[in-house]
Amino acid sequence: GAGVSQSPSNKVTEKGKDVELRCDPISGHTALYWYRQSLGQGLEFLIYFQGNSAPDKSGLPSDRFSAERTGGSVSTLTIQRTQQEDSAVYLCASSLGRGWEETQYFGPGTRLLVL
């Protein structure tokens, strides 16, 4: 079946503008994760959704970052008042949701460039 998809694939914005990044997880996956990957760096955990539970927001770097997941499926990551240091690839992943001990399937990412 279809894998995790993300849109847009690339986004160029001006400093101070808001951006929305979208993630469509694999159908039936109840767990969804957002990560940030700066150039040549590792995977920085941002937020985790599991079913109807309250999300784990412990990785969000500032209050300019927020995410929601409507209907337990599609998720949107919003960055308000973007800064140049927000430039990175934003990766979404999903898993079946039975626990953390399971394979995460990553989307292709959204490459964000803040000018």
Partner 1 sequence: GENVEQHPSTLSVQEGDSAVIKCTYSDSASNYFPWYKQELGKRPQLIIDIRSNVGEKKDQRIAVTLNKTAKHFSLHITETQPEDSAVYFCAHGGYQKVTFGTGTKLQVIP
The tokens for 59 are 């990785």
Is 99 a binding residue for partner 1 by CB under 8 A? The answer is yes
Site size toward partner 1 (CB under 8 A) is 19
Ramachandran angles phi, psi of 72, nearest 5°? 70, 15
Decide if residue 106 touches partner 1 (CB under 8 A).
Answer: yes
Cα separation, 88 vs 101, in Å, equals 27
Asked if 108 interacts with partner 1 (CB under 8 A), we say yes
Rounded Cα–Cα distance for residues 88 and 98 (Å)? 30
Residues of the chain by 3-state class (helix, strand, coil), percent to 5: 5, 45, 50
- Separation CA 72–CA 80 (nearest Å): 23
Per-residue x/- track, 41-80, partner 1 (CB under 8 A): xxx-x--x-------x-xx---------------------
The span of 18-26, 69-77, 78-86, 99-107 binding partner 1 (CB under 8 A) equals 99-107
Site for partner 1 in 8-47 (CB under 8 A): 35, 41-43, 45
Binding interface with partner 1 (CB under 8 A):
35, 41-43, 45, 48, 56, 58-59, 91, 99-101, 103-104, 106-109
